[in-house]
Amino acid sequence: MSDIKNIRMIAAGASLAAMTCVATMVIKIPTPTMGYVHPGDCFVLLAGFMLGSVTGGVSAGIGSMLSDLLGGYAAWAPGTFIIKFLTAYVAALVFRGLSRNNNMRLSMKAVLAGTAGEIVMITGYFLYNILVLTVISTGSEAVAVGAAVTQSAAEIPFNVVQGLTGIVLAAALIPVLEKINPAAE
């Protein structure tokens, strides 16, 4: 990879990490489960689509983790990094695989790849919430596994809404952004 391409990839990764963080922190729709829905997943998916599995995953993980650290959700930061890394990673792999099909519209590739990535996000947060509620929490905050599963399951519909929002926004933006993709040059 040329030095110019490396610089473009680093700049794009940092920009997408920052956009992920800002979109996650600025637009928050609170949920009854003490979490919130946000459009940050749009940039998680775009990072994967535009930068590839590893670079996009790191960018998505860092931006999402920073929003947890800066927003008062530090207990979720390690899980968020891993979950959002894997979300972008899987979305990128599926997107690249679908890119071999020249008959499919770019936005449809984004919808299919984004769906695969967001399934990872929904599953990841379900499992991580159980871990946080049963193992990481201490004292009166800790709950039994059954209660943790029930509480984590209650968050699934809100994570689905967040994932769908990210997919729709990313599918709408990728045809425009693909023209300035630093990985494509």
Percent of the chain past pLDDT 90, that is, above it, reads: 66
Is a pLDDT exceeding 70 seen at residue 135? yes
- Listed by start position, the domains of the chain span 3-180
Query: Rounded to 5 degrees, what angle do the CA atoms 170, 8, 103 make?
Result: 45
pLDDT for position 185? 47
Query: Rounded to 5 degrees, what angle do the CA atoms 37, 142, 145 make?
Result: 80
In the numeric block, which tokens belong to residue 107? Answer: 């936005």
Read off the pLDDT of each residue in 106-117 and give the average, rounded to a whole number.
96
Report pLDDT digits (tens) over 39-55. Answer: 999 999 999 999 999 99
Residue range 3-180, CATH number: 1.10.1760.20
Is a pLDDT exceeding 90 seen at residue 117? yes
Measured distance CA(124)–CA(130) in Å, rounded: 10
Q: What is the DSSP string of 56-106?
A: HHHHHHHHHHHHHHHHT-GGGHHHHHHHHHHHHHHHHHHHHHHTT-TTS-H
pLDDT band with cut points at 50, 70 and 90 for residue 75: confident
